[in-house]
Amino acid sequence: MTPTQMQRIVLAARPTGRPDHSHFRLETAPIPTPGEGQLLLKTLYLSLDPYMRGRMSAAKSYSAPVEIGQVMEGGTVSEVLESRYPGLNPGDVVLSFSGWQSHALADGAQLRKLDPQAAPVTTALGVLGMPGFTAYAGLLTIGQPKPGETVVVAAASGPVGSAVGQIARIKGARAVGIAGGPEKCAYIRENFGFDAVIDHRAPDLAEQLAAACPDGIDVYFENVGGKVWDAVFPLLNGFARIPVCGLIAQYNASGDFEGPDRLPVLMRQVLTKSLLIRGFIQREFAAQRPDFEREMAGWIASGAVRYKEDIVTGLENAPEAFMGLLEGRNFGKLVVKL
């Protein structure tokens, strides 16, 4: 019998600090019927990404917040169940933005058909998707690593950080990765070929980073903020470039930050070292997407870029997995298999 009910997770309340289960609510609802030009999709995989923490807050950001009672947003790999859109048929697998729910309607024009033979479909949410493109566009367009330069990236076992380090090495730079805990560090060292890997839990993080960067840091790909930034900052070379795509360490912060005020110190270094700091969202570089897809597919095929996924089963486990993501408990690209 065809199911008539779907599951979805909505934003129940806005967290002011760390999200917990009270901020999410699992609901059931009738499965909707597609209109003209629409499709009914069944979610196969849901991507969980740090940016979603921003959507839970009312504060203005680069995208509108999720409203209370709305389904949490997110990229998905979905299967077409019904199609009223020419060119996509039941059984096709597509990249969608269906959010945290088991079923969804979609406009056909918003979907991209995936070829399950070309690559595992989950890679469309990771190394071949938004996180991989974030690494590619931010590193190459803003960071512009040159041969022999030193590139530092944190969350180096994650989908963005692991790609940043590997692309940096393809471009002839040294890659220094930072991650949490010995298991992740060992994995990065063995699988992603970074030149050095440092555990950010080490009490002597700053000293270890300095030792790993004897020629200073030319590119710091900023995706975490917090104490990693503190360790990186004194090591920045003249003309260093700092693409900023995330600040996960401060996403749960609320209220004022304790002094002293480090803004004037930052600006002084910006001035005296001719630093470049540039925030970005991958979609501004959409024109580079075809180059990315061609190059990254080639690098994966040749083994020059490897990736790791962390797959959690069951939509109902998405909130817990997401809370873990914000604390670095995931190990690789976090995906929920429905």
Of 69, 116, 172, 238, the residue at the interface with its own copies (CB under 8 A) is: 238
Residues 23/14, Cβ–Cβ less than 8 Å = yes
Distance of CA 2 to the CA centre of its chain: 35
Of 185, 247, 305, 326, the residue at the interface with its own copies (CB under 8 A) is: 247
Minimal CA–CA distance to 8: which of 320, 316, 313? 316
Of 4, 30, 258, 287, the residue at the interface with its own copies (CB under 8 A) is: 258
Regarding 281 and contact with its own copies (CB under 8 A), the answer is yes
Regarding 271 and contact with its own copies (CB under 8 A), the answer is yes
Of 204, 284, 316, 327, the residue at the interface with its own copies (CB under 8 A) is: 284
Residues 309/122, Cβ–Cβ less than 8 Å = yes
Residues within window 52-91 making contact with its own copies, judged by CB under 8 A: 54, 60-62
Taking CB under 8 A as the binding criterion, the range among 71-79, 201-209, 249-257, 292-300 that sits at the site for its own copies is: 249-257
Regarding 26 and contact with its own copies (CB under 8 A), the answer is no
Of 87, 259, 290, 303, the residue at the interface with its own copies (CB under 8 A) is: 259
Regarding 246 and contact with its own copies (CB under 8 A), the answer is yes
d(CA 101, CA 73): 9
Regarding 260 and contact with its own copies (CB under 8 A), the answer is yes
Half-sphere exposure of 289 (CA within 13 A, CB side): 11
Of 68, 277, 297, 304, the residue at the interface with its own copies (CB under 8 A) is: 277
Residue indicated by tokens 């180096």: 156
Closest contact distance (angstroms) between CB of 256 and its own copies is: 4
- Nearer residue to its own copies within complex by CB, 68 or 270: 270
Regarding 146 and contact with its own copies (CB under 8 A), the answer is no
Closest contact distance (angstroms) between CB of 299 and its own copies is: 26
Regarding 3 and contact with its own copies (CB under 8 A), the answer is no
Closest contact distance (angstroms) between CB of 325 and its own copies is: 17
Neighbour tally for 277: CB within 10 Å: 14
Regarding 222 and contact with its own copies (CB under 8 A), the answer is yes
- Nearer residue to its own copies within complex by CB, 73 or 222: 222
- Nearer residue to its own copies within complex by CB, 128 or 155: 155
* Contact residues: its own copies, CB under 8 A: 54, 60-62, 222, 225, 229, 238-239, 244-247, 250, 253, 256-281, 284
